[in-house]
């Protein structure tokens, strides 16, 4: 008897850490409007109150401050936002996503609309960390990669693979919230500008 998908619900390890290839389907059950067949998720502890973190993130236009791949997020009215995201080889991809879940201080969820270059949905949860250590921020992303496995390999080559990006973006979010700035080894402003490209 191996550990099957159904067993995931009987233990405490998050579904994103499951060894089962069907884990995306399990995660999708918990999302309000899931899209995509690849799942990634990451948690980071940030030494700030969760309402403050939620407020920063909920102003989606600010996301490019720490999401290196996101060029712009533009509000289109209502709950709709246009995302412009860097893709390998100097291209960009765009989609419109709607905020589908929004509980202040707790969770923000979004889902791309029909016709998106990259169908995706995600949520970011803010929970009090135990022991007064600030907030656990958990980002979960479901996505279809542009050209299947080949696209994924190319994306990885260009360091634009979503799993790498989410890990690094969360670190930058933590840096920004805890220290007020994003750490860099650049020692001139020109070098810094080059890094951001």
Using the contact rule CB under 8 A, the part of the chain among 55-63, 73-81, 93-101, 189-197 near other proteins is 189-197
How many whole angstroms separate alpha carbon 69 and alpha carbon 138?
Answer: 19
Using the contact rule CB under 8 A, the part of the chain among 55-63, 79-87, 101-109, 165-173 near other proteins is 165-173
The dihedral through the CA atoms of 115, 75, 141, 35 has a sign that is negative
How many whole angstroms separate alpha carbon 5 and alpha carbon 22?
Answer: 7
Coil/strand/helix, residue 31: coil
Min. distance of Cβ 185 from other proteins in angstroms?
A: 3
Helix (H) or strand (E) holding 1: none
For the chain, the first-to-last Cα distance in angstroms comes to 50
Q: Which residue has the tokens 């050209």?
A: 147
Coil/strand/helix, residue 157: helix
Q: What are phi and psi of 189, to 5 degrees?
A: -65, -30
- Considering only residues 107 through 136, tell me which ones interact with other proteins, judged by CB under 8 A: 133-134
Q: Is 178 in the site for other proteins (CB under 8 A)?
A: yes
Using the contact rule CB under 8 A, the part of the chain among 25-33, 115-123, 139-147, 173-181 near other proteins is 173-181
Min. distance of Cβ 81 from other proteins in angstroms?
A: 24
User: What mask, x for binding other proteins by CB under 8 A, covers residues 68 to 97?
Assistant: ------------------------------
Q: Which is nearer to other proteins, 21 or 188 (CB)?
A: 188
Q: Which is nearer to other proteins, 119 or 141 (CB)?
A: 141
The only residue of 184, 194, 196, 197 in contact with other proteins, by rule CB under 8 A: 184
């Amino acid at each position: 008897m191996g550990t099957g998908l159904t067993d995931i619900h009987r233990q405490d390890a998050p579904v994103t850490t499951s060894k089962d290839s069907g884990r995306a389907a399990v995660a999708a059950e918990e999302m309000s409007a899931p899209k995509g067949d690849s799942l990634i998720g990451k948690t980071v502890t940030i030494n700030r109150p969760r309402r403050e973190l939620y407020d920063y993130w909920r102003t989606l236009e600010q996301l490019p401050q720490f999401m290196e791949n996101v060029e712009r997020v533009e509000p289109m009215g209502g709950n709709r936002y246009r995302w412009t995201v860097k893709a390998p080889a100097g291209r960009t991809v765009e989609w419109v996503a709607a905020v589908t879940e929004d509980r202040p201080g707790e969770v923000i969820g979004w889902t791309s609309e029909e016709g998106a270059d990259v169908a995706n949905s995600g949520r970011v949860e803010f929970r009090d960390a135990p022991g007064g250590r600030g907030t656990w921020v958990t980002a979960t992303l479901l996505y279809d990669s542009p050209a299947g496995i080949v696209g994924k390999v190319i994306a990885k080559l260009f360091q634009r693979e979503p799993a790498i990006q989410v890990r690094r973006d969360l670190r930058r979010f933590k840096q920004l919230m805890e220290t007020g700035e994003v750490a860099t080894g650049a020692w001139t402003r020109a070098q810094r500008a080059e890094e951001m490209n």
